[in-house]
Structure 1
Amino acid sequence: MPLHLMQHPDELVVARLAPGEEPSWDVGGGVFCSVTRTTHETSIICDAHLVPETVRSAGPYVPFEVAGPLDFELVGVMHEILSPVVASRISVLSMSTFDTDWALVPVDRIDEAAGAWRRAGFIVTPTSLSAWQPPTEDS
């Protein structure tokens, strides 16, 4: 069965803060938000409009979500997702959550990325947060 990628309309950025620094703004509210802390930096991926102009950031990116949840025993999912866009020389950021994987594509390359995935046999559909809800424990 081919992987299904759902293209969300949100525009995200990756913001960089100093190690241990907490964001001074509300990072939540969008389809995707991630705060990652290392000994060298704090990185935040969130809706572009939330990040203050004074904060160093890159983007915007559009998120593509793999319809999930995915089984932790699956092997090579991220490789399968990244291969078509890498072959098309499109930069992509990848993230994993407990339920699924995400690919963040530069906003000016989303049509090319979607085309590359479709040619590779993926199902790619636009969506919105209200159009799809994650599965519940009962489903």
Structure 2
Amino acid sequence: MNPSFSVLPQRFVIARLEPNTDLPSAVLASPDFFSITRTGDELSIVCAEGVATGSTRVDGPWRAIKVQGPFAFDQTGILASFLDPLAAAGVGIFAISTFDTDFILVKSENLDKAVDALKEAGHQLLGE
């Protein structure tokens, strides 16, 4: 099985804040895709460019590839079927999983290379 994928139109950044930092209200109010993860070591935020103002460590721009789900929790190898071709093509990633699916962020300058590698691996880009 080779799930299809799409590319979100926005450009994103990944911000790292101290673990005890309050959640930025601008991120919470954003209508676009965002992800927040807090651990004992850090607060990581993925959000649209321009939303993570005031963050000291920000990396970007990134683009998001959405794996077309939903997938049952007992389905295995789906994310690997995307990550293996990207690794072989030398494309670094930042992965985010949700209840239904996965999102793979790649640096904006690597988007075309990533899409080509995924299509060569048998995945279909929606809209083509």
TM-score by length of 1: 0.84
What is residue 22 of structure 2 aligned with on the other side? 22
Q: Matches of residues 19-58 of structure 1 in structure 2 within 5 Å?
A: 19-27=19-27, 28-30=30-32, 32-52=33-53, 54-58=55-59
TM-score by length of 2: 0.91
Using the alignment, how far apart are the partners of 2:54 and 2:107 within structure 1? 19
What is residue 11 of structure 1 aligned with on the other side? 11
Q: CA deviation at 1:54?
A: 4.9
Using the alignment, how far apart are the partners of 2:94 and 2:35 within structure 1? 12
Q: Deviation per CA, 1:50-85: give whole Å up to 9, x if none.
A: 111553111111001111111111011111110011
| 8 A Cα contact 2:63 2:106, kept in partner | yes
| 8 A Cα contact 1:5 1:66, kept in partner | yes
Q: Matches of residues 107-126 of structure 1 in structure 2 within 5 Å?
A: 107-125=108-126
Identity among equivalent pairs (%): 33
Provide runs of 4+ in structure 1 moved above 6 Å: none
User: Over the residues paired in the alignment, what is the CA RMSD in angstroms?
Assistant: 1.4
Count, aligned residues: 125
Q: Deviation per CA, 1:112-137: give whole Å up to 9, x if none.
A: 000000000000136xxxxxxxxxxx
Runs (5+) with no aligned partner, structure 2: none
**Residue 94 of structure 1 aligns to a residue in which SS?**
strand
**Residue 26 of structure 1 aligns to a residue in which SS?**
helix
- In 2 relative to 1, CA 42–92 (structure 1 residues): closer, same or farther, beyond 3 Å? same
Runs (5+) with no aligned partner, structure 1: 127-139
| 8 A Cα contact 1:33 1:47, kept in partner | yes
Q: Deviation per CA, 1:23-64: give whole Å up to 9, x if none.
A: 33411311x211100111101011011111553111111001
What is residue 99 of structure 1 aligned with on the other side? 100
- In 2 relative to 1, CA 52–109 (structure 1 residues): closer, same or farther, beyond 3 Å? same
Q: Deviation per CA, 1:92-130: give whole Å up to 9, x if none.
A: 11111001011001000100000000000000136xxxx
